[in-house]
Amino acid sequence: MKIKKDLFRYWWLFFYLPLYLIVFFLEEKYITDCHLIGIALDKKIPFIEWFFFPYYIWFPFIAALVVRMFFKDKKTYLKSVGFLYFGMTVFLIINVVYPNRLDIRPASFTRDNIAIRLAQAMYEGDTPTNVLPSIHVYNTLGVLLGIWTTKLDMKRKSVKWAVTVLGAVIICSTIFVKQHSLIDVFAAFALAVPAYLFFFRGAYAKKVDSLSV
pLDDT more than 90, % of the chain: 62
Reported as a single tens digit per residue, the pLDDT across 51-102 is 999 999 999 999 999 998 888 888 999 999 999 999 999 999 999 999 999 9
DSSP sequence for 123-168: HHHS-SBS-SS-HHHHHHHHHHHHHHH-SSS---HHHHHHHHHHHH
- Classify burial at 113, counting beta carbons within 10 Å of its beta carbon; exposed 0-12, middle 13-18, buried 19 or more: exposed
Return the pLDDT at 13.
83
Distance of alpha carbon 151 from alpha carbon 148, whole angstroms? 8
Reported as a single tens digit per residue, the pLDDT across 25-36 is 999 888 888 999
Indicate yes or no: pTM above 0.85: yes
The residue ranges of every structural domain in the chain are 2-209
Reported as a single tens digit per residue, the pLDDT across 118-168 is 889 888 888 889 999 999 999 999 999 998 887 755 557 778 888 999 999
Reported as a single tens digit per residue, the pLDDT across 127-141 is 889 999 999 999 999
Q: Band of the pLDDT at 4, cuts 50, 70, 90?
A: low
